[in-house]
Chain A
Amino acid sequence: MSMKATLRQVDGITVVDMSGRITLGEGCTQLRELVRDQLGKGSKHLLLNLADVTYIDSSGIGELVSGFTTVSNQGGKLKLLNLTKKVHDLLQITKLYTVFDVYDDEAKAVGSFGKAET
């Protein structure tokens, strides 16, 4: 079982519905390539929906952080949506919860990109 990512465009924001495992190997590689591809296409507003992520490890957390800094360095934003309790707890323990912009309402999350930009 590995990771699956489906992309949607909502009001100019790329929403990525992720499911499965974001762990060392395939899951992390896929996430890294996805972020790179989106930036390459000029999509700098990414909202990662983690609702169906079943497992994330230290490498997966690292990959989220890399994605966050890479996107930020290019003037974009990477935000998180719908954390499961497990992922929420991991981000809390690693003190990353306040680093990321986290939402549990997609419309609010999508709306937040525009506001912060102006």
Chain B
Amino acid sequence: MNTEASVVELVLESDLKNVEVAEEVARRVSGTAGFDEEDQHRIDMAVHETLINAIWHGNKNDPSKSVWLRFEIFRDRLEIRVRDQGSGYDPKGVPDPLKDENLLNSSGRGIFLIRTFMDEYRVESQAGKGTEVILVKRLNPNHSSDQ
């Protein structure tokens, strides 16, 4: 279908103004992978939320720390990795924003949205190595593309 590389890598300084750059890349790459407009927007939002968490919670807004992003298109899926230089976290400990007692909280919906928009959300944290979040969105098996 095209000869575009199936891997795109970016390194961003921890600054919120870089988030829109990453969104743009996320939309382009997901378009190239064959996702429709609606899925492109979902992937854009998932990358936005993951990146903001990496900058905000992971790197604590420290401009000397960076965030590493990697998009890889496979025949059946798009895989996105976002790595920060923070101390990691366990997503199991994050409260459910849909519970009645959390409904009016002013935060805590990012990971929920990422999980809603993507097919897989995994976190690999290692002390001293920061956090790597892996997002996977599967392509519709009958989407049109020459391998």
Contact = CB atoms under 8 A, between A and B. Distances in A.
Query: Are A and B interaction partners?
Result: yes
A65 B107 CA distance: 9
Interface in A84-117: 86, 90, 93-96, 99
Nearest to A56: B45
A94 B106 CA distance: 12
Interface in B97-113: 97-98, 103-110, 112-113
A95 B103 contact: yes
Interface in B49-100: 49, 52, 56, 97-98
Interface of A: 1, 23-25, 57-59, 61-63, 65-66, 68-69, 86, 90, 93-96, 99
B109 A69 contact: no
Interface string B99-140: 000011111111011001000000000000000000000000
The SS class assigned to the B binding surface is: helix
B113 A58 contact: yes
B56 A24 contact: yes
A24 B104 contact: no
A55 B48 CA distance: 11
